Structure 1
């Protein structure tokens, strides 16, 4: 029987999952996703038992029940694989967690205390851990943090210009999407050659979006800050926003804290500007001028933030697009590249249209790439490592 590790990425409306061999760096034997949780849930998967055997998914089934059913379903379909550990994506690790960690009650308590900093993610990340602990008591679990990759940043890149006591108390720029950036950093030598160790900006453009400036494949600056609301315009989040707007909404518009939170987390971004959709595909398919403006603003904000990070790096050797929009929306990449011509970036239009790995034109001063991200493989690798450490200790 083959030993295997389970990877779970529990979000507010979806659960990504994958099962990897525990002993070596190999592709998953099964991977899939439960989507539409709370609305019209569906499951798709490759490998494992037939999806039809999962059974009907009810809209009111909570994450805990779905994960318990998922583990049972995987057990039936992967009879030759024995789960020995599980790894979880956790959005916020705070200051304390700069590397993956084995989960215990103390870790769970500390991560729970960070919920207010990632209200759309942290509760569901923790729910996945609790559900798996109930379904498989004693199974080692590993928390892998989106914030950890950015702890290599210099102090100045992490500070806000606020009273020092608040910074000392943990109100700093944490950055997110670190698991994605960690994967891209590992892939750069395969695609960028000697440039990989240089000044690279990675654009993680998806429903959530951010940028990361790399030097020697380490994070030196990022667009997101204390929470995942900062930086780029996103599907439903505004990105960088004058704090005075929040004060105005609270003081002068009479909005409650919950109403402002709802506006910033769920009703802004592409959806708020277009008043149509938070999905880039829908906006490109529409001839509504509001849709065009939302797309143009998304590209404008990306150009602005890339320029800022290029200044921090003292120039740029390479630009990487990744995540859903970054990997698949050539028209968005073209808009962004058009605004970076002053940096010497020129796209190969045919390569860009084909979503090729290298999309910069010959002679371009900046090498541009499209590299699909794989956060689950990063979680699997870290989970293997900590599990093997447990095994070697005899615990």
Structure 2
């Protein structure tokens, strides 16, 4: 069946005003690693990480937290070293002063990574909680109290250690601290990004400095320190290709991938696809390029090709939740709700905290009038992402369908509270 023949079914059962499925999941943001203590040692840590995600998301950063990325069965130094080595920024939260945090901070310093170091003004070390479980009973048997140590005093002898004090109950203050640090570290961060784009060329070779200059400018666009402009990107790409030919230096697959990402963010999806295909031609097993190509194709309504590209990505990387999500979106757009649900079940199994997957599942359930299951899915999305206005809105509409009007009004009010100009909820 050609792409023009794809049947897109719109059922009459869907509640009017239902927010549509989320956008295709796009991979490629440069990531910052947050090194932090577990919630059992610092109970407010999730609030802090949410603020970090919100601020750095404005600069196209993806946030990875080591406790989530390093699974218990693979918790070893090499895995941590790889994650920290590939990041372009480290954010260290000293609250609780956990041994793993100190170790991972040391690795970031050894790798010369730009770092933002934070400590809550009122943070203390709970000595009892520093002990391993088997030691706690012995500790308690000795009838010792549970003293609190002042972190500032405890770290006072550490040479050249600097951190920014914040108050986790003042997110606006933390946002300001993060913004200020980003601009202080801007040159170091851009250097990290630029190095991922550089072709295999030695210092001093013809074209080296020119590549550096151009890629530094591209890095600013990639991280939105400077908003990208379509014509400017075309000019930069032309310069890069001309320099590549003149210097007889082959461009890397990462250059074409990142160029595709810039075009994607500018909604120039055809240009993005061309760039992703160039990256794939150099590195056929580049799962992220296949996934992003699928996302771009989806924005052009080429759903059969989306599924083919997603299948390529999944064959390379079977646990690629984002590719499973994009495949589900294509199936849904083709009117295949049950198939989409099966695919989204797989995505949720791989990545249970993938809020957009639960949101999309809710829409598919509503489409086939399974409103209780839709509400359960949106509740899960809200649990992961409490400020998910679209999920609150959709939950309200499903509750209306079930005759639960008071609960529906509460859900609509929540959507409006989060997003004051949210017309659907009104």
User: What TM-score results when the alignment is normalised by the length of structure 2?
Assistant: 0.25
* Higher Cα Rg, which structure: 2
Which protein is richer in strand relative to its size? 1
User: What TM-score results when the alignment is normalised by the length of structure 1?
Assistant: 0.26
